[in-house]
Chains A and B, each alone.
Chain A
Amino acid sequence: MKSQIFLIAKKELKGVIRQSSLKILFTIIIILLGFAVYGGHIAYKHQITMVETAQEERRAEWLDQGNKHPHIAAHYGTFVFKQKTLLSLFDFGLDTYTGTSVYLEAHYPHEFMFRPVQGYGNMIRFGELSAALVLQLLLPLLIIFITFQTFTKERETGTFKLLVSQGVSIRTIYLGKVLAYFIIISIIIVPFFTALYFVGINETTNSVIRDMELRIVLLFLVYIGYLWTFTNFSVWISLKSSNSRSALLTLLIFWVVTGIIIPKTSANLGETLHPLPSMKIYKEGIQHDIANGMAINESKEKRLVKLKENYLQKYNVDSIHKLPLNFSGIEMQEGEEYANKVYDFHEKKLHKKFELQNKTESLMSFVAPYIAIRNLSMAFTATDWHSFNDFQRKTKTYRRHLIRTMNNDMAKNSRHGEFYEYKAGKNLWETISDFKYKTLFVTKVLKYYRIELASLTFWFLAMLLLIPSSFKSKMI
């Protein structure tokens, strides 16, 4: 039986190679893949240079700001920029749609600014060509084109009956065909991922990703799984269709519905179901809570009075002037801490909404496997929302550390009522180490993508079930 499968695969491969239109399509796919990687690579290099320059400039500015009051240093703060990861040359993910820089200053946690898409004009809504797009949408289309008539044609020309009458089971024919097409797909993706792997482990300019090898292996596995599923599905549709035309139509409709319509409608539906507040309202909510407190008796004034009492009691003095520290510094830091609490609370609520919105779409991946592969691909290349969110979180921690250090220095080293008289210098600025980001380990990212992993597994298993059994095939 095994040799029969190989024989059929060989025959099928010969058939495909003879078709010149498929050769053209095949070449187009490879050219597109090459162009996408080339474009991704240039964008990556460019971005890396820009980020490095900008980051170095801001760092130098921070260190050479001269002698000044630490709170003023905290006030005018510094910047952090979002680094591109090497794998983003494969899958741009959300990079175009997230902000690229964030301003870190005292009193006020800023949002990320400058979404690159804002400079891209109307055209960007048609999407960017990335290698991931080629593998996720275009390669399946190629699969459809080469497989839709694999059984219908045999049936139309009468060779199907001939084969079966010679004792070859449908199962064997089916497996042979799937094998043949899968070999064709592998000719594209195996060298591609091998190359990506070697580029990935040898690239030294970017140390943002620590588990490059694992990420690329995972990418390879999910893509192989996805494309195998698609091949299997297309062959199965061809087997079940009465003629080539209806097989093609069914497959094309499946492609459009699951690749274009469902992802878009479900994301939009997610937004309709869980609408976001406007920035204005969101920020006002935060400011309101900072001023009036998140609980009763926690208004700004009351918090200050309480803080004062605590400190007077702690140091057993009757006036803040007698405290061994500068109370203004304590007060400022306390204000920061409370604001952080409020921000965290509101941000958590907001992120919950993001997650609910995205979940609506993730669940649809059981109907549309494209959604699963798209999200997993972004996750493994660290260009997804969770990776961005992790980056954001780390900049937040960095900012808090920076402001706290400045305020504590002021509390410790200056006296109450003094402001311009006290000046700190480079020694203090240097205690804040440069911001160096490392992505989460991919194993930690996986937990956010249980639905996608489950759906891809579901599709994979469903395809195994679709393979005709050898028993059944003997009956035809």
Chain B
Amino acid sequence: MKLILLLWQREGISIIRNIFQMILLISIVFLGIYAIYYGYSTITKQQKTIENVQTIEKNEFKNYINSFSNKRTSVKEKQLFNIASDPAYAWYRHEYHAVLNPHSLAHMSLGQRDIEPYYRKLTAASLYYQLFENELANPLKLYIGNFDLSFVLIYLFPLLIIVFTYGLYAEEKENGMLPLLRLQTVGLRKILLIRISFYYLLIVGLGILLSSIGFFIAPKTENLTIFLWIATILCYFSFWFALMFFLVSLKKNSSLTAISAAGLWLLFLIVLPAILNVYANIAYPIDNMSLADITRRKSLENEEDLDEAKAVIEEYLHHRDDLKGAKALIDVNTMSKAYAAFTALNDNHHKKEVVDYFNQIELRQKWISLFQWANPAVNTQSILNEITETDAVIFQAFHQSITNFHKEITHFYFDKLFLNKQIKNKDYENLPKFNLTVDYISKIQNIKGGLIEIIIISFFLFGLSLVLFNKTIFLKALKK
């Protein structure tokens, strides 16, 4: 124990004396704090937009409800009442919003929240016409990505680990300290491990410190989430330390160790993922052009042709057994019903194309995830995104939930429209509500799986290095 403390103290002093290393540490802390600030401001802005959107929706429906008790003397008031009570207007005028609220830790790992839409405006009109709108964004900014805490932890912390550890063996050798160390009763491997453990504690501590700032400014966070986050960065840092220990145990000179470490950093964080993305592009190209047509506004061929309108309604009712009673009522509000039926049928007709599109995306993701285990950096990014619910999977769930929500909205209005019922004041108590359905069990399982993969790789590397380290000593002894 005494030896450990002594060696740690020595390392501590050497860091404090080394201006360069101090600057590095301090810059990382500042960059981390800026990253948290950036993430926080991004999420705060998104939250404001969400609040805004929800207020607009709330006011709109409040006006509808109020219109029931108004005297309806002015034209505007009459119009409002019509929109509020007549399903023939209401189905395409009432605007709902499906919102993907940010997770309390979303600011620490922004993931896809800048690329994918986090809210959608919906009416009962054709879903696909409404589904593919983008949020305003600067493409260059999207291309460059977010400077959030997960970026600092995943990209920059490994560099810190490399800088602190690459010379642990080679520098002693180059400075001529090695023979001295060999004279000690304590084994060289033990000394090296104790020294590495000092940097491990230092860097992990720094990672946890920065993360704690992120936890601290989060509104309310479950302990499990905090635990998972810390476990993830522990695993990831352990991987890098194991990797460095491996490189150090090869006992090459310090420049070569540094080059190899930089090369591996480049490989894991830039080259391998970039190659995989290009390959995924070739193997699973995504054709979104085919979807263009379905986002178009469409209408009946001959808008004044009553027979055509009725035929469309008939076709729609064919799919809706629950509206059997409505068949006899085609003649009331025919045009409005025809449009409603047309938009619903339109969605039906295009369903396959949309499903194919999303299937292709899923296939691509599945294929990519086959390689994820081999790259702890990518794995960690996915896990952090999953923890903070900013990953691609959550947006797929959001999309699926929107489809269900739209179905609910459509039923709410179309049932009344086809059965010739008015919307009553009390119906407003049972408006369709958006529910996000997320498969939390598979989410936790994914996270667990990812963490286990990283741990296994780290242990493997660590074990290998221990053997290698001894082996080289062993081989040298033999040569002598």
The yes or no answer to A265 lying at the interface (CB within 8 A) is yes
Select one of A268, A272, A278, A358 contacting B136, CB under 8 A. Answer: A278
Instruction: Choose the segment among B66-74, B226-234, B265-273 that binds chain A (4+ C-beta atoms closer than 8 Å).
Output: B265-273
The yes or no answer to A50 lying at the interface (CB within 8 A) is yes
Which residues of A206-223 are within 8 A (CB) of B?
none
The yes or no answer to B177 lying at the interface (CB within 8 A) is no
The yes or no answer to B141 lying at the interface (CB within 8 A) is yes
Which residues of A32-73 are within 8 A (CB) of B?
32, 35-36, 39-40, 42-43, 46, 50-51, 53-54, 57-58, 72
Find chain A residues with CB under 8 A from B19 CB. Answer: none
| B255 touching A265, Cβ below 8 Å | no
In the complex, what distance in Å separates the CA atom of A148 from the CA atom of B254? Answer: 13
Find chain B residues with CB under 8 A from A145 CB. Answer: 259
The yes or no answer to B280 lying at the interface (CB within 8 A) is yes
A124 to chain B, nearest CB (A): 6
Instruction: Choose the segment among A112-120, A394-402, A437-445 that binds chain B (4+ C-beta atoms closer than 8 Å).
Output: A112-120
Chain A interface mostly helix, strand, loop or mixed? helix
The yes or no answer to B292 lying at the interface (CB within 8 A) is yes
The yes or no answer to B16 lying at the interface (CB within 8 A) is no
| A261 touching B156, Cβ below 8 Å | yes
The yes or no answer to B146 lying at the interface (CB within 8 A) is yes
Select one of B147, B270, B295, B296 contacting A265, CB under 8 A. Answer: B147
| B364 touching A53, Cβ below 8 Å | no
In the complex, what distance in Å separates the CA atom of A138 from the CA atom of B121? Answer: 44
The yes or no answer to A122 lying at the interface (CB within 8 A) is yes
With A120-B277, A245-B167 given, is the CB distance from A267 to B368 under 8 Å?
no
Closest to A96 in B: B143
In the complex, what distance in Å separates the CA atom of A51 from the CA atom of B119? Answer: 29
With A113-B133, A121-B392 given, is the CB distance from A148 to B289 under 8 Å?
no
With A245-B255, A264-B144 given, is the CB distance from A121 to B364 under 8 Å?
yes
The yes or no answer to B41 lying at the interface (CB within 8 A) is yes
The yes or no answer to A77 lying at the interface (CB within 8 A) is yes
Find chain A residues with CB under 8 A from B281 CB. Answer: 39, 42-43, 128
Find chain A residues with CB under 8 A from B65 CB. Answer: none
Find chain A residues with CB under 8 A from B137 CB. Answer: 97, 276
Select one of B271, B276, B288 contacting A119, CB under 8 A. Answer: B288
Please, how many residues of chain A have a CB less than 8 angstroms from a CB on the other chain? 93
B262 to chain A, nearest CB (A): 6
Which residues of B396-448 are within 8 A (CB) of A?
none
Which residues of A108-152 are within 8 A (CB) of B?
111-130, 133, 137-138, 141, 145, 148-149
Instruction: Choose the segment among B325-333, B339-347, B378-386 that binds chain A (4+ C-beta atoms closer than 8 Å).
Output: B378-386
The yes or no answer to B304 lying at the interface (CB within 8 A) is yes
| A98 touching B139, Cβ below 8 Å | yes
Closest to A284 in B: B56
Find chain A residues with CB under 8 A from B298 CB. Answer: 76
In the complex, what distance in Å separates the CA atom of A245 from the CA atom of B257? Answer: 10
A342 to chain B, nearest CB (A): 16
Find chain A residues with CB under 8 A from B276 CB. Answer: 123
| A268 touching B146, Cβ below 8 Å | yes
Select one of B31, B266, B270 contacting A261, CB under 8 A. Answer: B31
In the complex, what distance in Å separates the CA atom of A58 from the CA atom of B291? Answer: 12
Select one of A72, A111, A114, A265 contacting B288, CB under 8 A. Answer: A114
Find chain B residues with CB under 8 A from A99 CB. Answer: 134
With A81-B289, A121-B364 given, is the CB distance from A36 to B278 under 8 Å?
yes
| A125 touching B381, Cβ below 8 Å | yes
| A111 touching B112, Cβ below 8 Å | no
Closest to B112 in A: A122
Find chain B residues with CB under 8 A from A148 CB. Answer: 255
| A119 touching B360, Cβ below 8 Å | yes
Find chain B residues with CB under 8 A from A103 CB. Answer: 292, 295-296
The yes or no answer to B59 lying at the interface (CB within 8 A) is no
In the complex, what distance in Å separates the CA atom of A128 from the CA atom of B281? Answer: 10
A57, A125, A350, most chain B CB atoms within 10 A:
A125
A40, A53, A127, A281, most chain B CB atoms within 10 A:
A127
With A270-B141, A271-B138 given, is the CB distance from A141 to B132 under 8 Å?
no
Find chain A residues with CB under 8 A from B132 CB. Answer: 113-114
Closest to A353 in B: B138
Taking Cβ atoms with an 8 Å cutoff, the residues of B that contact A are 20, 31, 34, 38, 41, 45, 49, 52-53, 56, 111-112, 115-116, 119, 121, 132-147, 151, 155-156, 159, 163, 167, 171, 254-256, 258-259, 262-263, 266, 269-271, 273-282, 285-293, 295-299, 302-304, 357, 360-361, 364-365, 368, 378, 381-382, 385, 391-392
- 23 residue pairs from A and B, CB less than 8 Å apart: A25-B263, A32-B271, A96-B143, A99-B134, A113-B292, A121-B361, A121-B365, A123-B273, A125-B145, A126-B273, A127-B270, A128-B274, A129-B275, A130-B278, A138-B266, A245-B254, A263-B144, A267-B140, A268-B38, A271-B141, A276-B136, A280-B119, A358-B138
